């Protein structure tokens, strides 16, 4: 269940799982035998993060599950290879490209990007050009074959075949010369190509209808201001009508007359924008940025690894909520239903953010006691 009813009180367990997972990550990373580049350690860390994600997905609460992805930033701070972050960014890029443009163009972009990355990494222009020539030769061979046999074939299959064949050739080349990093790069490229091809199937057959509608609305593929885009459209109207100084406390017409649904929870930022204007929203954003910078500073000054890791977990969780929630209200992020910390109405989120933050405050206050112990 996404909500647990205890008498007249409703609790959302997924909110408290963020703090529990943060503590578990901090405890494991600070253990004596932990090594970031050890396979067993990475598997254990992945289990700690993915277990609650799986349980939350079963509750059909995708927004809360996505929050756990920010723990990658914490792991990067503790020594995780940057290629993981690059791969995560690449997945998002491929998904957006495949949704916005034709799959044929997406595959060309991925191929060119792969050659650019290889050149930046190895700085060997001749080798890069030879690899590009091999790829183009395979592409042209299959294109000429289609002309000879006079069979009309979609050009998508030409580049897909060229990608698979050339990746296979380069992979055997890397294995023969024991170039492990090249094999990893080819694996990422092949995975990206296969992912781009499968995006359409996942989008149409796995995602829920409301999720598809929100993504289409965000990317501008469709516009439905009376349906999927109603919340965001009314939110932008409310923020825009606030002007520079706003309409005054409780004087907002869009929010006062309930044109904006969920204005006290997920879309509370539009209330700030309408009532207090650009000035008020700037103050709110400034306060959050100040809090995040302070958390990072406190985390870095802690000599205890446990406290430092937990501090970064707190900062990244708050950053994700802050960035995505505000992005939702102005149409820059998909509507995934996550609250604005310490602003949105809701007992579970308020308690979880309060506990999350003040556990770290207590850890920071006792940093000298931890060292003496």
Which tens digits make up the pLDDT trace of 140-162? Answer: 888 888 888 877 777 777 888 88
Contact 341, 314 (CB under 8 A): no
What is the spatial distance between Cα 167 and Cα 189, in angstroms, rounded to a whole number? 8
Place of tokens 């965000």: 218
Q: Which residues contact 110 (CB under 8 A, 6 or more apart)?
A: 94, 163, 189, 192, 193, 196
Residues in the chain: 373
What is the spatial distance between Cα 158 and Cα 88, in angstroms, rounded to a whole number? 27
Q: Give percent above pLDDT 70 in the chain.
A: 93
What is the spatial distance between Cα 288 and Cα 318, in angstroms, rounded to a whole number? 9
Q: State residue 220 phi and psi, 5-degree precision.
A: 75, 15
CA 232 to chain centre: 20
Structure tokens at 306: 């446990």
Contact 214, 66 (CB under 8 A): no
Closest Cα partner for 316 from 124, 76, 133, 153?
A: 76
What is the spatial distance between Cα 76 and Cα 239, in angstroms, rounded to a whole number? 36
Instruction: Tell me, yes or no, if the pTM score tops 0.85.
Output: no
Q: Give percent above pLDDT 90 in the chain.
A: 22
Contact 348, 306 (CB under 8 A): no
CA angle 87, 193, 207 (to 5 degrees): 80
Average pLDDT over residues 323-350: 85
What is the spatial distance between Cα 35 and Cα 17, in angstroms, rounded to a whole number? 25
Which tens digits make up the pLDDT trace of 215-249? Answer: 777 776 666 667 667 778 888 888 888 888 888 88
Res 369: pLDDT: 65
Residue 172, pLDDT above cutoff 90: no
Which tens digits make up the pLDDT trace of 74-131? Answer: 999 988 888 788 778 878 888 878 777 777 788 888 888 888 887 777 777 787 888 8
What is the spatial distance between Cα 155 and Cα 105, in angstroms, rounded to a whole number? 10
């Amino acid at each position: 269940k996404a909500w647990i009813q205890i008498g007249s009180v409703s609790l959302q367990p997924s909110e408290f799982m963020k703090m529990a997972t943060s503590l578990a990550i901090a405890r494991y990373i600070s253990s004596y035998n932990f090594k970031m580049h050890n396979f067993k350690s990475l598997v254990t860390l992945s289990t700690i993060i993915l277990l609650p994600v799986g349980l939350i997905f079963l509750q059909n609460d995708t927004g809360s599950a996505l929050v756990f992805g920010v723990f990658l930033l914490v792991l990067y701070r503790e020594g995780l290879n940057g290629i993981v972050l690059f791969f995560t960014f690449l997945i998002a890029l491929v998904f957006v490209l495949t949704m916005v443009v034709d799959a044929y163009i997406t595959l060309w972009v991925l191929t060119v990007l792969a050659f650019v990355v290889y050149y930046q990494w190895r700085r060997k222009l001749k080798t890069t050009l030879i690899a590009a020539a091999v790829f183009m030769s395979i592409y042209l061979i299959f294109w000429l074959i289609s002309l000879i046999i006079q069979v009309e074939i979609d050009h998508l299959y030409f580049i897909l075949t060229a990608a698979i064949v050339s990746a296979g050739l380069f992979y055997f080349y890397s294995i023969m010369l024991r170039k492990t990093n090249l094999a990893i790069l080819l694996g990422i490229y092949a995975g990206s190509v296969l992912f781009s091809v499968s995006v359409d199937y996942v989008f149409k057959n796995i995602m829920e209808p409301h999720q598809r509608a929100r993504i289409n609305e965000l990317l501008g593929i469709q516009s439905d201001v009376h349906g999927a885009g109603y919340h965001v459209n009314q939110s932008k109207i409310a923020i825009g009508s606030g002007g520079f100084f706003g309409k005054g406390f409780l004087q907002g017409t869009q929010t006062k007359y309930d044109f904006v649904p969920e204005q006290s929870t997920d879309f509370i930022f539009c209330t700030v924008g309408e009532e207090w204007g650009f000035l008020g929203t700037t103050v709110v954003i400034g306060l959050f940025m100040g809090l995040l910078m302070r958390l990072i500073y406190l985390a870095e000054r802690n000599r205890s690894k446990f406290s430092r890791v937990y501090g970064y977990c707190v900062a990244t969780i708050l950053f994700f909520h802050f960035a995505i929630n505000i992005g939702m209200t102005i149409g820059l992020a998909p509507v995934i239903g996550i609250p604005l910390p310490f602003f949105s109405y809701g007992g579970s989120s308020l308690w979880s953010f309060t506990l999350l933050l003040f556990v770290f405050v207590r850890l920071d206050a006792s940093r000298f006691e931890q060292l003496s112990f």
